[in-house]
Structure 1
């Protein structure tokens, strides 16, 4: 294959060269266990604290409020379950939205089986939660609101500041899954009244298998993993030192180059959307047209199946997805697209292209060129498309 174009950066990003170089010594040369008291162990403990400080500064937190995890899903599970079990004497009600990542939704479903009650908020046609419904859903039993910062499929950014104000006024903990937002949006947890925030390094050019949970000082939360006294007795298990070092470097780079990164991705995104809309009919942009992540493009092509589209793109050396990377192996349409009101037959024709630092205008143009060819070819096999053409 002569050309390979990767446009699935919402699923994962490549580890940047500078990040890998910083990690490498901690696999073989500086391999000490951070819990050991001799110098090799102390060196590992010190670099963990340096990385913790980098993560904390990025979101306006204190380093003592950052706890490293095995990724975003673990951070989500810890936030939801930890708050639920630690505060069940106060109440058993949790509020979330219908378009959350499955790390949230499946955790809430688990808690429902444990006797907790969960309200799943509706969203509008752009994927934005209904703030009035949120206010009306809060009861004296509500202990947690969990709303994602930006949607992983359609890229819509939620009104986090307004949600934070509501939660603070009602004295309810507020958690946000910011896995897609970190590196793409500037975040100040204090200003936004966020009590807990999840992130994952592999979404911003860091390694897989490492993430973090911000827990505001004073938040009452149970540990998710019990064992040793690591992470100040809140998250047991020997620390992933190379991963933590990589995460620290990746988040540092992400915000050093923040403006440049965002301008580039916005330009590529608008170029891709404009060219697709001008050259392909019966196509719909999903999510908000402007209030969305800079590199997110989610489209529905009528009269074709998303799976066929993805396979055809792959044969041309182009990587995209039909939605969340965690569910793209299923045949069911995206729960996000159904929640914003799309019928099954249209939701099935979805394509998510997410741009990153290593994409170019030339790649965007090539992808659009191949998309036009593939969509036209697949529609030739669609009796529904034939019928529409005849009616016109």
Structure 2
């Protein structure tokens, strides 16, 4: 299989698998137990925490491991609103469902403002200034969009939010390890399996003085803020993946740029969805007039690519992100997402694009 769905998940790095293996076998102790084996497991988690903090470029604040980035986002949002008379949340129409569904749930009791984007997928900062005010508790903005790869100006968004006294949450799941992270977000959510780590573990970084109310109660094992027994294996895997990000940062970015240039010409008959200039180059979301994208995916066997978000691809509904770009349902249904990264070879990409184009020509 030629794997071109790096936004859905990434291949597990061999170094990560090796780092996890002892904690899946003989080193099985509960990291919250007081005896030697438990303390050993707890120490491994702290090593992993430091590795992830280093990859984030953070020397202050605190990082809590979670069961996923979805949990981290839910926790950050639900735990940061409704106090001090601030009962408004501002976010963007192209956010991940983990953000949009959460703020819509809270919209039953709080005021929610979901800002539109332009055809380029970028939020209008003047509209943001108009929406953010003294009642705003939180502004949530994704760094790199998971469907179209567009990069939001999160630090500029943060400046506007902070001027109004609001906190800023950044969903950096798709940006972590790929582009520079925002410097001024108050909370950052990330996921291990998007950076060649294991699934079922994410993290929430919180700036100094930021501590959202717990989402999960029952022991407070993680920094006194999140309950539940941590998995040393998953934490060690996340730490190893983060260590690799730092080690291979330059090589990974240069490789993605090379693949991006290689991919653009074979896709000359396609139209890019979202900004061409303000985007992460490991994500190609493109459409072709009259194409049945779902049929195309079924016809191009042996190549893994997608219609968009893995969380919503099976729903049969056009992507909310593409609809936010003001694309018609027909245009949205003619769109595909191609994602590549560290382990994608130039030969694999060339073969896959040839097969995709040939199948599209035949429709």
* Fold shared per TM-score above 0.5: yes
Tell me, in whole angstroms, the C-alpha distance in 1 between the residues paired with 2:61 and 2:123: 31
1:64 deviates by 5.5
Tell me, in whole angstroms, the C-alpha distance in 1 between the residues paired with 2:282 and 2:100: 25
| Structure 2 residue 120 is matched with structure 1 residue 126 | yes
Counterpart of 2:66 (choices 64, 69, 94) is: 69
Tell me, in whole angstroms, the C-alpha distance in 1 between the residues paired with 2:171 and 2:162: 18
1:60 deviates by 3.0
| Structure 2 residue 210 is matched with structure 1 residue 208 | no
For residues 71-90 of structure 1, the aligned pairs below 5 Å read 71-84=68-81, 87-90=82-85
Q: Which 10-residue stretch deviates more, 365-374 or 149-158?
A: 365-374
1:249 deviates by 0.6
Counterpart of 1:275 (choices 258, 266, 273) is: 266
For residues 146-157 of structure 1, the aligned pairs below 5 Å read 146-157=140-151
- In structure 2, list runs of 5 or more residues that go unmatched: none
User: Are the structure 2 counterparts of residues 244 and 63 from structure 1 closer, same or farther at C-alpha, using a change threshold of 3 Å?
Assistant: farther
| Structure 2 residue 240 is matched with structure 1 residue 245 | no
For residues 98-247 of structure 1, the aligned pairs below 5 Å read 98-113=93-108, 115-187=109-181, 192-247=183-238
Q: Which 10-residue stretch deviates more, 268-277 or 171-180?
A: 268-277
Tell me, in whole angstroms, the C-alpha distance in 2 between the residues paired with 1:63 and 1:163: 21
Q: TM-score, normalised by structure 2?
A: 0.97
1:251 deviates by 1.0
Taking only aligned residues, the RMSD between alpha carbons, in angstroms, comes to: 1.2
Counterpart of 1:382?
Answer: none
For residues 15-94 of structure 1, the aligned pairs below 5 Å read 15-62=12-59, 65-84=62-81, 87-94=82-89
Counterpart of 1:96?
Answer: 91
Equivalent pair of 1:71/1:200 in contact (CA under 8 Å): yes
- In structure 1, list runs of 5 or more residues that go unmatched: 379-392
Tell me, in whole angstroms, the C-alpha distance in 1 between the residues paired with 2:53 and 2:334: 40
| Rg larger for | 1
Equivalent pair of 1:52/1:63 in contact (CA under 8 Å): no
Tell me, in whole angstroms, the C-alpha distance in 2 between the residues paired with 1:170 and 1:89: 14
Residue-pair matches, total:
363
Equivalent pair of 2:136/2:164 in contact (CA under 8 Å): no
Tell me, in whole angstroms, the C-alpha distance in 1 between the residues paired with 2:257 and 2:148: 15
Counterpart of 1:6 (choices 3, 25, 36) is: 3
Tell me, in whole angstroms, the C-alpha distance in 1 between the residues paired with 2:165 and 2:54: 26
Equivalent pair of 1:285/1:297 in contact (CA under 8 Å): yes
Task: Write the deviation string for residues 348-374 of structure 1: whole angstroms up to 9, x where unpaired.
Answer: 111000001111111121112112210
1:220 deviates by 4.5
| Structure 2 residue 306 is matched with structure 1 residue 309 | no
Equivalent pair of 1:145/1:172 in contact (CA under 8 Å): yes
Counterpart of 1:287 (choices 274, 280, 292) is: 274
| Structure 2 residue 318 is matched with structure 1 residue 323 | no
Tell me, in whole angstroms, the C-alpha distance in 2 between the residues paired with 1:49 and 1:169: 35
Q: Which 10-residue stretch deviates more, 147-156 or 212-221?
A: 212-221
Task: Write the deviation string for residues 56-107 of structure 1: whole angstroms up to 9, x where unpaired.
Answer: 12223246510000011001101111112xx434211000000000000000
1:165 deviates by 1.4
Tell me, in whole angstroms, the C-alpha distance in 1 between the residues paired with 2:274 and 2:338: 13
Tell me, in whole angstroms, the C-alpha distance in 1 between the residues paired with 2:274 and 2:347: 25
Task: Write the deviation string for residues 150-205 of structure 1: whole angstroms up to 9, x where unpaired.
Answer: 10010011111111211222211000000000110132x5xx21100100000000
1:270 deviates by 2.2
Tell me, in whole angstroms, the C-alpha distance in 1 between the residues paired with 2:125 and 2:114: 13
Question: What is the SS of the residue equivalent to 1:24?
Answer: helix
Equivalent pair of 2:266/2:354 in contact (CA under 8 Å): no
Equivalent pair of 2:134/2:165 in contact (CA under 8 Å): no
Counterpart of 2:360 (choices 355, 375, 382) is: 375
Tell me, in whole angstroms, the C-alpha distance in 1 between the residues paired with 2:335 and 2:136: 36
Structure 1 stretches of at least 4 aligned residues deviating more than 6 Å after TM superposition: none
